[in-house]
Amino acid sequence: MTEGPRSLRRLPEDARALGGPWPSLVGEVEGLTPEAERDFRFGQSVFAFGGEYRLGGSLKGGSSAVWRPVGESEYRAYREWRRREAFAEGEDRDAFDELARLLDANGIDLVSFGQRGAGASASSDAYVPDRGEIYRLVADHLLALPAEHLARREFAALQFGGWGPDSAKASAYADGRVMLYEFALGGARRTFVGLLLHEIGHVHEAAFSPTNRARLENLHGPIAAAGALLGIEFLLDAESRRIYQQFLTSEFLAETYVLYTSQGARLRAFIEELAPPARDAWRDVYDIFRDTFYGVEYE
């Protein structure tokens, strides 16, 4: 990891918070059990129907769903959990317009599935009124990335809602499209932010030159062998996300993108605390990322 003048940026606090603990609300929210909290954070919801209540949600981004009966106490707990950890439903047309202009300027289609069906880049059909906070959050995070990361052919579309071509339940990247399923939109803000950066990390992975890709494949070996991986909690717990990176270079690179942007100082400190050869491999990985971030680093 070479030293030199730094061009430091800072992602919004939603991203930076990924490095800290995710405190449980059990005991604070009346009626919230550990099982219900896990379900809510994993994208499940509770709704009232004919005087009764159902808990459940999509199994794969909206393509199928399972619901079970629950009581009013679970419904009240869900509503309070949503107020604290999920996106508030409400309009923000300005945020949508800002995001649409940013994407359109970079040739990225904006695709929405929701109340108005599917739409294309910067069109009124793509606007879903209750996603105002989501539009604002995404615009703020994209603006903190290097402009070059948006203006490349590997990032062709950004999809909200719907589902994709694979078995992923929350989000995916395929054929140039970053897809954030209903599963992600309806869960915790923390999970959504992590998934957004992770899938853009797959865009970054796809954009690596063949030379850099080969180097990163080789560097992943000693890092994985030493278990020298850093996990942060979103969707899965931190240890699961650490293990997740150990076997697939593609997932290691996507998670490194999340860490590089949201946990820059922590990642640098983590690397320097390692012993060789993992430390040396990590230093080289970091340098490749810094080069492909055009010298931009993050706090």
Taking the C-alpha atoms of residue 36 and residue 192, their distance in angstroms, rounded to an integer, is 19
Least confident of 161-170, 171-180, 229-238: 161-170
Mean confidence (pLDDT) of the chain: 91
Find the mean pLDDT for residues 160-165.
83
Indicate whether 118 pLDDT > 80: no
Q: Which pLDDT band holds residue 120 (cuts at 50, 70, 90)?
A: very low
- 25, pLDDT greater than 60: yes
Cβ atoms within 10 A of the Cβ of 275, count? 9
Q: What letter would DSSP give residue 89? A: P
Judge contact between 133 and 186, C-beta under 8 A: no
Angstrom distance (rounded) from CA 49 to CA 188: 23
Q: Report helix angle 278-292 to 264-272, nearest 10.
A: 150
Task: Report which listed range, 30-44, 120-134, 242-256, is most confident.
Answer: 242-256
Q: For residue 186, which phi and psi values (nearest 5 degrees)?
A: -95, -5
pLDDT over threshold 80, residue 277: yes
Rounded CA separation 133/215 (Å): 39
What percentage of the chain reaches a pLDDT higher than 90? 76
Task: Tell me what the mean pLDDT of segment 229-246 comes to.
Answer: 93
Q: What is the pLDDT of residues 39-90, one digit of tens each?
A: 899 888 999 988 899 998 765 444 567 888 999 999 999 999 999 999 998 9
Tell me what pLDDT residue 42 has.
84
Q: Distance between CA atoms of 262 and 256, rounded to whole angstroms? A: 10
Residue 121 has a pLDDT of 44
> What pLDDT does residue 119 have?
43
Residue 115 has pLDDT above 90, yes or no: no
Exposed/middle/buried for residue 209 (C-beta within 10 Å: 0-12, 13-18, 19+)? exposed
Residues 6+ apart with CB under 8 A from 230: 242, 259, 263, 266, 267, 270
Question: Is residue 157 scored above 80 in pLDDT?
Answer: yes
- 24: how many CB neighbours lie within 10 A of its CB? 13
pLDDT recorded at residue 58: 64
Would you place residue 116 in the very low, low, confident or very high pLDDT band (cuts 50, 70, 90)? very low
Q: What is the pLDDT, as a whole number, of residue 61?
A: 46
This prediction's pTM: 0.92
User: Rounded to whole angstroms, how far apart are CA atoms 169 and 8?
Assistant: 34
pLDDT at 3: 65
